Amino acid sequence: MLQRLTATPTTRSGLLAVLALTSLAAPVRAQTLPDDIDITTSPNGVVLLPPSVDPVFTNIFDRYTKITAPNGQAIHFLLQSQVTDEMAVRAREVLRFYLTDVPGSQYGADKTALVNRMGNVEAALVYFNNQAAANQAMNGPLGNANIFAQDLYATESVVEGSWPYILNNLRDATLEEVFHLVHGAGIFQTLPAYHQEIVAATNAAISAGLYFPPPGLPPWDRPFEYIISIIDVYYGFWAHDPDNDGTSFGGEYAFHTRAEVVAGDPQGVTAMRKFLPEYFSASLTCAASFPWTFRLEHDPATEYTLKSRYIENLRLSGAADSGIGGNGLDNTLGGNAGDNAIAGGDGTDTVVFQGPRAEYVISGAQVTDTITGRDGTDTLAAVEFLQFSDQVIPFGGGSAVNYCTSSPNSSGGAAAISHGGSLDASANDLSLHATPVPPGQPGIFFYGASSTQLPFGNGTLCISQPVVRLGVSFASGLGELDFDVDNETPPVSGDFTPGSVWNFQAWFRDPAAGGSTFDLSDGLRITFAP
């Protein structure tokens, strides 16, 4: 049955308990919600609750989403009318974040058994409009339903980019309540040693005067409330110090910033990090109403960045011409249907697009979707990769790498090839240079798709057939051979296109050296910007 929590009121919500030890003993519960509700018919995975579902649910909830466990069982989200799709998607992605493996961690490296357990016991987040709606529902048939439930209210849910998020004027309970579901329906049974470590950290924090459980909170409930104090503070959700007293959760926990909790409660932080990652890497979506640039880098003048600084992944929604400013992490970012400015910042950053590569035009720093109403035109900066639905390609100016070898010529040195201009194929400003070569001697640059390394003339051939030969030029009195490439009229077989890779080399006469009387530079492999 769905469990009730009886405790004196605290600063935290929580009508339903996932902590009743008697109910946890049963490994599998009777099926009361179907696992096969199709959520793929909606772009965001939130669908109407099918009328075929038992009225005990359809009389209270109108929409649904889920996460499917590896064993095929569903972890359910039941949504009331005032729970927006944005709230539901965020709660689902927070759960997915908690259930994602954390390589190298003691208890989180493989969460398969935990996730399967949650599916087996019909774990469900019951998402009510408010506490009054939850009380009313629980006094009816829902109170006896065969699901393992944890509640959350729309009145305590905050979406990135919404006014409550920007202003920090509403307590967001999503991370807390969703983790309660994970802890009670998964960790408690599948990772008992981990739960005991949390218990030990809880008791130590109480003894040290760091955690003050509210009067009336049952002792067995304390570890569940304590560990979420660590999580909420560690990911920055109390850093703005809403009570102006340096604590969090209305004085229940002694710290409110990551730096403080790491220094002051290392046992608790160690327990948390044995299951969860360093940064808040959920796949988050910014509210469609947000019209500005959402910033992930901490800015003392922008209070919400005290928490957004720990976000790794964010995409915009709606159609506003808004933007994202990344932080120092490896961000995965995405725009919306408008024209967006997306800057990755430090780290290795990827921008995600909804369609296949062939449906986008890349020109310099801009990526334009040819399908109306999907991704618009995005202007990018400090971005390393573009992720399309069918491939991932590098971005950010292309690259040029020397390879192969060259031999000393009669000028006294070995000729090396280099380039000038940009590596944007559409810019048509590529120039090629080789130095030192014999002054006044003729030479040509040539290029091809395939590389090799074979003796040729007095040097080494670095490009295999077929090759494209450019025009003849003459080395300067300083031994510099130069050529400006015209990409507007290239041979059909040697067209420079975004993302294409070509190998370049210089050939030049060298009669003073004897032998074959000609030589070559080393090779230069250019990847043109996507």
Sign of the Cα pseudo-torsion (25, 26, 28, 32, in order): negative
Within a 10 A sphere around the Cβ of 309, how many other Cβ atoms?
A: 21
End-to-end CA distance of the chain: 56
Helix 266-273 to helix 222-234 angle, to the nearest 10 degrees? 90
Task: Please enumerate in sequence order all residues whose Cβ is within 8 A of that of 460, keeping only pairs 6 or more positions apart, or say none.
Answer: 404, 405, 406, 407, 453, 454, 520, 522
11: helix, strand or coil: coil
Give the pLDDT confidence score for residue 420 in this predicted structure.
Answer: 84
- Delimiting residues of CATH 2.60.40.10 domain(s) in the chain: 399-527
- Between 477 and 12, the higher pLDDT residue: 477
Query: Is residue 522 predicted with pLDDT exceeding 70?
Result: yes
What are the backbone angles phi and psi of residue 496, rounded to the nearest 5°?
Answer: -85, 115
Measured distance CA(428)–CA(485) in Å, rounded: 7
Q: Which of 302, 310, 262, 304 is nearest to 282 (CA)?
A: 310
* Distances, alpha carbon 523 to alpha carbons 216, 229, 369, in Å: 76, 58, 36
Please report which confidence band the pLDDT of residue 20 belongs to, taking 50, 70 and 90 as the band edges.
very low
Q: Which amino acid is at 194?
A: Y
pLDDT band at 31 (very low <50, low <70, confident <90, very high): low
Give the rounded percent of residues in the chain with a pLDDT score beyond 70. 92
Q: What is the pLDDT of residues 61-82, one digit of tens each?
A: 999 999 999 999 999 999 999 9
What pLDDT is attached to residue 482?
96
**Does the N-terminal peptide bond of residue 394 adopt cis geometry, omega within 30 degrees of 0?**
no
DSSP letter (8 states) at residue 372: T
Give the mean model confidence (pLDDT) for residues 171-191.
98
How high is the pLDDT of residue 403? 92
Rounded mean pLDDT of 428-448? 95
- Token pair of 487 as six digits: 């990409």
Q: Is the pLDDT of residue 121 over 80?
A: yes
**pLDDT at residue 166, rounded to an integer:** 98
Q: How confident is the model at residue 6 (pLDDT cuts 50, 70, 90)?
A: very low
Task: Read off the pLDDT band of 291 (50, 70, 90).
Answer: very high
CA distances, 464 to each of 249, 454, 455, 502, 519 (Å): 68, 9, 12, 11, 16
Look at residues 474, 480, 487, 383 and name the one whose alpha carbon lies nearest to residue 428.
487
Residue 29 has pLDDT above 70, yes or no: no
> Are the CB atoms for 366 and 351 separated by under 8 Å?
no
List Cα–Cα distances, 197 to 107, 108, 153, 223, 267, in angstroms: 11, 14, 30, 9, 9
17, pLDDT greater than 70: no
Token pair for residue 122? Answer: 């019909």
Residue-wise pLDDT tens digits, 450-485 = 999 999 999 999 999 999 999 999 999 999 999 999
Cβ(230)–Cβ(175) under 8 Å? no
Q: How confident is the model at residue 27 (pLDDT cuts 50, 70, 90)?
A: very low
Write the class of the CATH domain 399-527.
mainly beta
Amino acid at 414: A
Region 81-103 average pLDDT: 99
Residue 316 banded pLDDT, cuts 50, 70, 90: very high
Partnered with residue 443 across adjacent β-strands are 473, 508
d(CA 308, CA 323): 14
- What is the pLDDT of the chain when averaged over all its residues? 92
Count Cα neighbours of 327 within 13 Å in the Cβ-side half-sphere. 20
Helices (H), 52-158: 55-58, 85-99, 112-120, 131-138
pLDDT tens string 263-280: 999 999 999 999 999 999
> Which of the pair, 10 or 363, is modelled with greater confidence?
363
Position 396 pLDDT exceeds 50: yes
Q: Exposed, middle or buried: residue 408 (CB in 10 Å: 0-12, 13-18, 19+)?
A: middle
Q: How far apart are CA 415 and CA 404, in angstroms?
A: 12
Among residues of the chain, what percentage have pLDDT more than 90?
82
Extended strands (E) in 80-198: 123-128, 148-153
- Residue 23 above 70 pLDDT? no
Give CA 284 to chain center in angstroms.
8
E strand or H helix at 198: helix 192-207
Mean pLDDT within 90-99: 99
Candidate from 81-90, 157-166, 238-247, 342-351 with smallest mean pLDDT: 342-351
More confident site: 27 or 273: 273
Instruction: Determine how β-strand 311-315 pairs with β-strand 280-285.
Output: parallel
Instruction: Label residues 516-525 b or e (16+ Cβ within 10 Å = b).
Output: eebbbbbbbb
Q: Quick one: CA dihedral 101, 102, 104, 105, positive or negative?
A: negative
